[in-house]
Amino acid sequence: KNEVEQSPQNLTAQEGEFITINCSYSVGISALHWLQQHPGGGIVSLFMLSSGKKKHGRLIATINIQEKHSSLHITASHPRDSAVYICAVGAAGNKLTFGGGTRVLVKP
Amino acid sequence: ETGVTQSPTHLIKTRGQQVTLRCSSQSGHNTVSWYQQALGQGPQFIFQYYREEENGRGNFPPRFSGLQFPNYSSELNVNALELDDSSLYLCASSLAWVSSYNEQFFGPGTRLTVL
């Protein structure tokens, strides 16, 4: 079993729909990242959180430390949100362990 | 403050050759981590350098080696290239403290193709 599991692996939504991506982890962590990767490879950090909830524009990330679970929500999705979203957990020593990613396609 | 940069962007090599990938860390960052991302998968940790010393290694053979320089730029070297080494290679820099975790900033990656 992988230390970081994401679901779903693939997701297709219509423009305007609400999207949720889930991440579960089995190791102790200092922080959890949500990352976005567009075709071509570059990774952009969306959120780093260790408790509670963070919001940036149409993106919301939550984490439940007790349940070892995090969610990334995209409200009013848009075709430009189409990308791979990756959950990664960080521990002491600054090492990251990544989930397999969720491929999101938002259709106009 | 400049971001993390990597060079080259793309690279094609043949099996058995050696390759060097380069990463320039974000200004002031003393830690760099290298990751390998195969197509359709999440990145896998290769190793990390902190103040020019290797500070942890993932499940990669010794033919994957690295260097970090006093200006905190770094290199990833891969000897005796194999077809399965074809991947996107990412570096990420951070300012590390012993007792805490700090955010990592990613470069755009180098896509290596081994023929």
> Each residue of A22-75: pLDDT tens digit?
999 998 888 899 999 988 778 888 998 989 999 999 999 999 999 999 999 999
Distance from CA of B88 to the nearest CA of A (A): 7
On whether any CB of chain B is under 8 Å from the CB of A35, the answer is yes
Q: How far is residue B19's CA from residue B12's CA, in Å, rounded to a whole number?
A: 10
- Residue A42: list chain B partners with CB under 8 A: 106-109
Measured between beta carbons, the chain A residues lying within 8 angstroms of B56 are 93, 95
Is residue A71 within 8 Å of B67, Cβ to Cβ?
Answer: no
Cβ atoms of B4 and B24 within 8 Å: the answer is yes
Residue ranges of chain B whose pLDDT lies below 70: 1-2, 97-101
- Report, as an integer, the average pLDDT of A78-82: 95
Q: What is the mean pLDDT of chain A?
A: 91
Residue B100 is predicted with a pLDDT of 59
Give tens-digit pLDDT for B32-51: 999 999 988 889 999 999 88
Closest-CA residue of B relative to A44 is B106
